[in-house]
Structure 1
Amino acid sequence: MLGTLGTTLFSLLLLGFPIIMPLLVSAIILLFLYMPDVNTSIFAQQLIQGIDSYVLISIPMFIFAAEIMSKGQTADRLVNFVQAFIGHVKGGLAITTVGACAAFGSISGSSQATVAAIGKPMRDRMLRAGYRDNDIMALIVNAADTAILIPPSSVMIMYGVIAKVSIGDLFISGVIPGLIIALFFSIYCYFDAKRKNVPVTDKATWAERATATKEALLPFGFPVLILGGIYSGIFTPVEASAASVLYALLLELLIFRSIKAKDLYQSALNTGVVSSVVFLLVAAGQVFSWVLSYARIPQELTGSLLGDEPSALLILIVINIVMFIGCMFVDSLVVITIIVPIFLPLALQAGIDPIYLGIIITMQAAIGVATPPFGADLFTATAVFNKRYVDVVRGTPPYIVILLFIVALLMIFPPLGMIYKYL
């Protein structure tokens, strides 16, 4: 059965089919070949059940808010704010990029939107300051990873729906790992700039800093609205996503006047396309997961990989390896829909906190979007910057090493990924 499953999956992937087709076709083949007694109407029921979750409404809402902000002034105001305070230090523009990506990520929840919104203005500034283009693109692609850890995050929402855990607890627990990524990247940028003797920019005056701070106050209302609203109990995650759309419209359409009403059509269209792909993926993943569970493939697979009574550490190591390899080739949401149903029961049995497990999995998803050969942010960068794939990839290894080190740090000090327990 495992051989049939693996052969079908990889054959269809190699033939170039979208990932939804391998998931559905392999599930259908297993049903007809090995489970002929199962009523096939269950297939349709599982498709519907996969997207029959109220929480999933928040995904298109957050995507729509990110679309609106990426076309407006929010990104530029955040960049100007961060640069005003640290642009003059060694590696200041690179550190500004990291900080701006973290700030925009806390608003958009999308690494691809962060690459586009922050990458465009920062690449031009860094090129003028003497940074190498390969280094700039690698930094932007990897700094955008913070958008997946710092809420809102579609990856966390997906994991929360599958694992049936609190989205709010996942959101708050992702903040510390996201800030750790920003800190380590900033330290690397500082020493890398010293080693390469990159020139620094002029120090901003206090008047310029005051102006930049004033202009950034309203954009910084997004994380306060989302995190503060959810964790204080004012909003549910779905209500917070709707509030973020309303706030984005108020800022960009009425206050900043950076977009016009007619621009919303294209933003809504983009949101519809991305959201439909996500929901189809969730539905296909539900069918695939149900077939796996019914056929007891998770028990067979984990038994052969981990033995009868694996330790919590061994389970985490295997999950990290599977996630890292899987996200190199397939979208992280696909990997999550496949591996969470397989490993979650075993992790819970070993006493692993499901929120902490979600943070570890989200970290690997963040690494995956910027890891060759098929990291989504790499292809986003090639389109945004109109550069060759090989040029974008060339500078990424140091950042991947840093991210893997942070994963190890989270495994050594689990409380870093469970801050929700201490609030």
Structure 2
Amino acid sequence: MLWMLMGIMFLLFVLNFPMYISMIVAPLAVIICYFPNLGPQLATQQLIAGVSTQVLLAVPMFIFAADIMSAGETSNRLLDIVDAFVGHIHGGMAITTAAACTLFGAISGSTQATVVAIGKPMRNRLVSSGYEDEDTTALIISSSIIALLIPPSISMIMYCVVTGASVGDLFKAGVLPGVIILMFFSIYNYINAKRKKIARRKKFNASERLAAFKKSIGALGFPLIIFAGIYSGMFSPTEAAAIGVLYATILEVFIYKSIKFKDFKNIALSTAVVTTAVFILVAAGCLFSWAISYARIPQIITESILGPNPTALMVLITVSIAFFIAGMFVDSIVAIVILTPIFFPLAIQAGIHPIQMGIIVTLQAAIASISPPFGCNIFTASAIWDVPFIKVVRRLPAYLIMLIVISILIIAFPEISLISVK
């Protein structure tokens, strides 16, 4: 049964079928061959159930808000405010880029959107300031993964849909690991710039910093409103997404006047395309999860790998490796909806907090997105900048090592991911 499931998926993957086709056909074949009494109508019900949860309403609205701000002035204003305060120190431009990726991640929730929105204006700035092109590319695609840990993260929402964990709690738990990643990257780039003797920029005076702050205060308001609202319990993540769309519209149309209402048609179409892809994957993943659960495949896999009574440490290490490898070949959402149902029951049995598990899963999905050979951010950067694959990945090892160290810290010290959870 397991070999049939994996064999069909691999065959369809080799034949270049879309991933969602593989995720639907393989479990359907298992149901028809091994459980003919269930009937195909149950499969249809599971597909519908996969996209019927209220939490998923937040996804298209967060994407829409991010698309509005990406089309407007928000990304440039975020760059300006960070640059005004840290641009003059060693590695200031690199630190500005990493911090701006973090702030934009608090708007978009998408690594690829962050690569495009921050990478396009910053890449030329960095190169003209003396940074090597390969260092610049590695910095941008690595910093963009912080978007998966800083709310509103679409990957976190997917994890909560699959497991039933609290979206609000996971959003809050992701902030500290995201900040730790930013700190590691900033220290590394400070040392690297000092070692390579990259020229420092002019220091902004108080009045210039105040002017930059006033210019950027609207952009900074988005993550502040979203996080403060969820953290205080004033509104749910779904309500926060709706408020985000309203805020983005007011900001870009009436305050910055960077887009017009006639532009919303193309923006909405872009959002619809991304949302459709996400929802199809979620529906297919729900069917896949239901089929393998009914067939007890997760128990078979976990017992053969970990034994009947694994420790929490063994489970977390196995989860990290499994999600890291899977994320190198498929989108993080696909990895989450397929693998989480396999490992989540075992993690709970081993005494692992669902939120810590969610942070580990999200972090590994993020790391995988910049890991050769198939990390999605690598191909995004290669496509938008027309840079050869080898140049994109050449300086990534340093960032991957830092991210592995952070993963070890979160596994060894659960408090890092649970400090904000009651």
AA in 1 matched with 2:218:
L
Per-residue CA deviation, residues 129-160 of structure 1 (Å, 9 max, x unaligned), is 01111110110001001111010000000001
Structure 1 residue aligned with 2:314: 314
AA in 2 matched with 1:349:
Q
Say if 2:69 is the partner of 1:69. yes
Distance 1:109 1:342 in 2: 25
- Higher mean C-alpha deviation, range 110-119 or range 136-145: 110-119
Percent of matched pairs sharing the same residue: 51
Distance 2:273 2:9 in 1: 25
Say if 2:269 is the partner of 1:276. no
Pairwise CA RMSD of aligned residues? 1.0
- C-alpha displacement of 1:268: 0.6
Per-residue CA deviation, residues 34-63 of structure 1 (Å, 9 max, x unaligned), is 112222110100000110101101001000
Distance 2:76 2:25 in 1: 45
Structure 1 residue aligned with 2:196: 196
Structure 2 residue aligned with 1:371: 371
- C-alpha displacement of 1:395: 1.7
Per-residue CA deviation, residues 181-203 of structure 1 (Å, 9 max, x unaligned), is 00000011011112222111111
Report matched runs for 1:391-402 at 5 Å. 391-402=391-402
Structure 2 residue aligned with 1:248: 248
With over 3 angstroms needed to count, the CA separation of the structure-2 counterparts of 1:390 and 1:262, relative to structure 1, is: farther
The alignment partner of 2:200 has SS state of coil
Structure 1 residue aligned with 2:58: 58
The alignment partner of 1:38 has SS state of coil
Structure 1 residue aligned with 2:109: 109
- Higher mean C-alpha deviation, range 411-420 or range 247-256: 411-420
- C-alpha displacement of 1:392: 1.7
Structure 1 residue aligned with 2:415: 415
Structure 2 residue aligned with 1:25: 25
Structure 1 residue aligned with 2:386: 386
Unaligned segments of structure 2, at least 5 residues = none
- C-alpha displacement of 1:12: 1.3
Per-residue CA deviation, residues 96-145 of structure 1 (Å, 9 max, x unaligned), is 10111111111221111111111111111111101111110110001001
Per-residue CA deviation, residues 278-337 of structure 1 (Å, 9 max, x unaligned), is 000000001111110111111111110010100010000100010010001111111111
- C-alpha displacement of 1:421: 2.5
Per-residue CA deviation, residues 63-100 of structure 1 (Å, 9 max, x unaligned), is 01111111111111111111111111111100110111
Structure 2 residue aligned with 1:78: 78
Distance 1:333 1:102 in 2: 20
Unaligned segments of structure 1, at least 5 residues = none
Distance 1:312 1:34 in 2: 33
- Higher mean C-alpha deviation, range 386-395 or range 33-42: 386-395
Residue-pair matches, total: 422
Distance 1:8 1:352 in 2: 33
Q: Quick check: 1:146–1:181 contact (8 Å CA) kept in 2?
A: yes
Say if 2:325 is the partner of 1:325. yes
Say if 2:343 is the partner of 1:351. no
Report matched runs for 1:208-287 at 5 Å. 208-287=208-287
The alignment partner of 2:421 has SS state of helix
Q: Quick check: 1:61–1:241 contact (8 Å CA) kept in 2?
A: yes
Q: Quick check: 2:110–2:147 contact (8 Å CA) kept in 1?
A: yes
- C-alpha displacement of 1:388: 2.3
Q: Quick check: 2:172–2:421 contact (8 Å CA) kept in 1?
A: no
Structure 2 residue aligned with 1:118: 118
The alignment partner of 1:240 has SS state of helix
Distance 1:151 1:421 in 2: 15
AA in 1 matched with 2:38:
V
Distance 1:389 1:72 in 2: 30
Distance 1:396 1:14 in 2: 28
Q: Quick check: 1:145–1:369 contact (8 Å CA) kept in 2?
A: yes
- C-alpha displacement of 1:387: 2.0
Q: Quick check: 2:141–2:370 contact (8 Å CA) kept in 1?
A: yes
Distance 2:40 2:111 in 1: 38
- C-alpha displacement of 1:21: 1.0
Say if 2:144 is the partner of 1:144. yes
The alignment partner of 2:39 has SS state of coil
Distance 1:279 1:272 in 2: 10
Distance 1:386 1:266 in 2: 25
Give me the TM-score of the superposition, normalised by structure 2. Answer: 0.98
Distance 2:381 2:363 in 1: 20
Distance 1:117 1:37 in 2: 51
Q: Quick check: 1:172–1:419 contact (8 Å CA) kept in 2?
A: no
- Higher mean C-alpha deviation, range 267-276 or range 218-227: 218-227
The alignment partner of 2:89 has SS state of coil
Distance 1:327 1:421 in 2: 27
Say if 2:42 is the partner of 1:45. no
Distance 1:78 1:298 in 2: 44
AA in 2 matched with 1:141:
I
Q: Quick check: 2:114–2:144 contact (8 Å CA) kept in 1?
A: yes
